[in-house]
Amino acid sequence: MSTVVHPSDVRVDAVRKIVGAEEYAGDVSLEGMVHACIVRSSERHARIEAVDTSAALTIDGVLRVVTAGDLDCALYGRIVRDIPVLAVDKVRYLGEPVAAVVATTRRLAELGAAAVVVEYGPLPAVVTADAALEPDAPLVHEAPWEYARAVVSPDDPPNLQSRAARGTRQEAEAALAGAAHVVDETYVTPAGHQGYLEPQCCVARWNAEAGSLELWIPNKTPYRLVEQLAACLGRPAASIELHPVAIGGDFGGKGSPMAGPLCAELSRLVGRPVRLALRYAEDLAATNPRHPTSIRVRMGCDTGGRLVGLVVDAQVDGGAYAGYKPMPEVSLRGIGHAASSYRVDAAYVESRIAYTNTVPKGHARAPGSPQITFAVESALDELALRSGLSPWEIRRRNVLRTGETGHEGVRYAEHRAAEVLERAERSIRPATAPAGTRHGLGIALYDRPTGLGYTSLRLTARADGDLDVGVAVPDTGTGSHTVVREVLAGALALDPACLHVRHLPTGALPGDQGVGGSRVTATLSSAALLAAERWQARGGEDSIVVELRGEAEEPITSYCAQVAQVAVDPTTGELTLLDLLTVVDVGTVVHPASHQSQVDGGATMGIGFALYEDLELDDGQVWASNLGEFKLPSVRDLPSLQTEVLEGGKGVGPANVKSIGELVNPPVAAAIANAVFAATGVRLRRVPLRAEDLWEALYPATAAAPGRPAVPAAAAAGPAPGGSSEQP
């Protein structure tokens, strides 16, 4: 290990991660531990007629084959409890766990799983939200309103998971009817995996004598997971302990119980510690990816380009279960924030999430926001074109100013949209498009509120004079534990090297809300400052515990503007992202390196969403079944990434911080799509933005085109920008 003394701002976890010593769930190895593998449904929707385990049980080393009848647990879910640990009577999606095989090695467990024979009686399936919400659609669940904490009733359309609406449709429609210019278009986004590189994994140890259960699981909401496991397994929460392990990437995907409940049950049934680790192919096909959406946007303005009406109807594929969504109303809140950066006289936003016979969907970085921002920010450019305004001008005329209340009805402390746009326009460094390609530049804007949450923290004096800092919330990689150290060091005037931050097991602290909503820096820095205050005022104690249950004094939101520059090859439709400028509105940046990483990582994930990532969920099957086909951006795929940090904003809490984790990825796709339009006159309304779609739009079937037989020489010029070549 390095003996060099690091400067104080080096992340608390840096060295152990660099030398390979960090412990992830898959690195945990317990005495007597055995391995499990899941038998997954090969059908989208079918009755389970029979499960033949005899062949699997003949394999030497296979200890047990478990099916739903062996389990002693309830349905689980983060809000709606509709997910069976193993399928009961029928399967609802391709890849659903039907049985599990426990063996002495992982290889034998996998061989055993392959030997289990399941007979299915196929049922009619619904594989899209549109089809699922038809009146006579086959039912994914016969009576979804009967599940614990369901948000639907028998009066709702069949297969409804949830419905969220804001505003008055009639008023918004009336406003649109009176608008001088109206856009009415539908934008489509695919299912997408979060792309964390660590597959879902769990190690569970059930101690029958003590009646206790221990888990090592990469979950970002450990205290909530304990509650969910307690409810599912019918055990007291106090008997369940989660040990801290590093989380190998989250982005929303590590908030659900996932492998936990099954692994716990398997450990109970075989009486030994069990590791259940998914292969990446299983993770892509059958965990909790981002919701595919089809979003119809109708947006109208007056002759001066002032937004008068907005109607959004989002149709969302929720998959076979609703239980991976954690919001009380079971919605994707990002969709509800449609056009939240702008003044609109009358807005109505409705989303309907449907049960379908596809993989159940969950949260992915800024849930709903990449989808709605692609739709609304593209539509706004389309409206600008119709109004004769530039994309910059229509935004300038409509962004909220400090003191104004937007159509969501929230009065934020400040709006820095105009400043962010101005900084973006001033910071553009023109990129050079290669000869023979067309250059285009596009802008998109996004805003995201920052809140506070609940957490707890412990300070303990050490014999050597240093301080141990015990935290309840895991660091998913964002640098949150480093933030705690930086804030405490500042408040206590200590050398950061004297502060030792450790993530403690559940039970060691009163509780924590978990990672989510880009609120961790705000919550943890507030908790750290509170702890510093109490520490200085303490009597003789050498250990204190503080709890922070925070509400921001006033609502805070922050803005992000992005400018994309692209080059499009008019003969092939090939699209190259040349440059992506990100302007972020911040309060105080606590740890600049971690902040910048969140900006760069967010921009990169936005590029993946815009250009590459598609699970190819078709006819109920995930076809992008490995990381070769579900392509994440590599270092070679990136353009130059420029960042401008607009300091001096009003943030949350005494540390004055704003959100960053989910601020940067949502606007990327619209910025690129708008740049493509500027370059070619082609409007792409489906992500990922693909050369094939661009080429088809550039050269409609009737036209001659490069690559088609008998190309007339004139075709090489392509259509004029702003022409009629819009994507159908």
In the complex, which residues of this chain contact another protein (CB under 8 A)? 1-4, 6-7, 10-11, 13-15, 17-22, 24, 26-27, 107, 194-199, 246-251, 277, 279-281, 476-479, 593-594, 596-597, 599-605, 626-628, 632, 634-636, 638, 641
Nearer to another protein, 279 or 650 (CB): 279
- By beta-carbon proximity to another protein, the closer residue of 380 and 484 is 484
Q: How far is the CB of 319 from another protein (least distance, A)?
A: 22
Least spacing, CB of residue 245 vs another protein, in Å: 11
Residue from 244, 260, 275, 235 nearest 324 by CA: 260
Q: Which is nearer to another protein, 286 or 380 (CB)?
A: 286
**Rounded Cα gap, residues 655 and 658, in angstroms:** 9
Residue whose CB is less far from another protein, 279 or 438: 279
DSSP 7: P
CB 340 → another protein: shortest distance, Å? 25
Minimum distance between the CB of residue 57 and another protein, rounded to whole angstroms?
23
Sheet strand arrangement including 438-450: 438-450, 556-568, 575-585, 640-646
Closest separation in Å from C-beta 638 to another protein: 6
Instruction: Name the minimum Å distance from CB 103 to another protein.
Output: 15
Q: Are 663 and 446 in contact (CB under 8 A)?
A: yes
Sign of the alpha-carbon dihedral angle for 700, 702, 704, 706: positive
From the list 50, 68, 26, 82, the residue with the least C-alpha distance to 266 is 68
> How many angstroms separate the CA atoms of 410 and 583, rounded?
23
How many H helices and E strands in the chain?
Answer: 17, 25
Nearer to another protein, 135 or 628 (CB): 628
CA distances from 728 to 185, 671, 709 (A): 10, 20, 23
Rank residues 17 and 462 by Cβ distance to another protein and give the closer one.
Answer: 17
CB 127 within 8 A of CB 356: yes
Three-class secondary structure of residue 437 per DSSP: coil
Among residues 286, 213, 220, 216, the alpha carbon closest in space to that of 256 is found at: 220
CB of 705 to another protein, least distance (A): 30
Q: Residue 624 is encoded by which pair of tokens?
A: 């992008």
Question: What ranges in 502-591 are assigned the alpha helix state H?
Answer: 520-537
Looking at residue 177, the DSSP 8-state letter turns out to be H
Indicate the residue among 9 and 466 with the shorter CB distance to another protein: 9
Token pair 């879910």: residue = 77
Residue closer to another protein by CB (options 299, 603) is: 603
- State the alpha helices, DSSP H only, in 500-631: 520-537, 592-611
Using alpha carbons only, what angle is made at residue 141 by residues 138 and 144, rounded to the nearest 5 degrees?
130
Residue closer to another protein, measured from CB, 248 or 620: 248
Based on CB atoms, which residue is closest to another protein, 23 or 52?
23
Q: How far is the CB of 48 from another protein (least distance, A)?
A: 28
Unique residue bearing structure tokens 């949350």: 652
Asked if the peptide bond before residue 688 counts as cis, ω within 30 degrees of 0, the response is: yes
Strand partners, 413: none
Q: In what order do the strands lie in the sheet with 160-167?
A: 160-167, 346-355, 307-319, 293-301, 181-189
Least distance (Å) between residue 246 CB and another protein: 6
Residue (281 or 498) nearer to another protein, CB: 281
Q: How far is the CB of 193 from another protein (least distance, A)?
A: 10
CA distances from 183 to 246, 381, 697 (A): 47, 10, 19
Q: Is 51 helix (H, G, I), strand (E, B) or coil?
A: strand
Helix (H) or strand (E) holding 670: helix 668-680
Nearer to another protein, 195 or 496 (CB): 195
CB neighbours (10 Å) of residue 138? 15
Q: Which of residues 11 and 141 has its CB atom nearest to another protein in the complex?
A: 11
- Least CB distance to another protein at residue 236 (A): 32
Where are the alpha helices (H) located in 23-69, listed in sequence order?
54-57
Q: Cβ closer to another protein: 28 or 132?
A: 28
Residue that has been written with the tokens 């302990």 in this structure: 241
Cβ atoms 526, 654 nearer than 8 A: yes
Q: Report the nearest approach of another protein to the CB of residue 666 (Å).
A: 15
Question: Please, which residue, 160 or 603, has the CB nearer to another protein?
Answer: 603
445-456 b/e with 16+ CB inside 10 Å = b? Answer: bbbbbbbbbbbb
Nearer to another protein, 14 or 123 (CB): 14
Q: What is the Cα–Cα distance from 97 to 87, expressed in whole angstroms? A: 6
Query: Considering beta carbons, is residue 414 or 486 the nearer one to another protein?
Result: 486
3-state helix, strand, coil in the chain (%, to 5): 25, 25, 45
Say which residue the tokens 């600008």 belong to: 384
- Could you tell me the smallest distance in angstroms from the CB atom of residue 625 to another protein? 10
Cα separation, 245 vs 248, whole angstroms: 9
In the bound complex, what is the minimum distance in angstroms from residue 429's beta carbon to another protein? 16
What SS3 class is residue 601?
A: helix
Least Å distance, CB 480 to another protein, is 11
Asked if 480 and 516 count as a contact pair (C-beta separation under 8 A), the reply is no
Nearest-approach distance from CB 582 to another protein, in angstroms: 10
DSSP code at position 290: B
Contact (CB, 8 A) for 516 and 220: yes
In angstroms, what is the minimal distance from the CB of 327 to another protein? Answer: 24
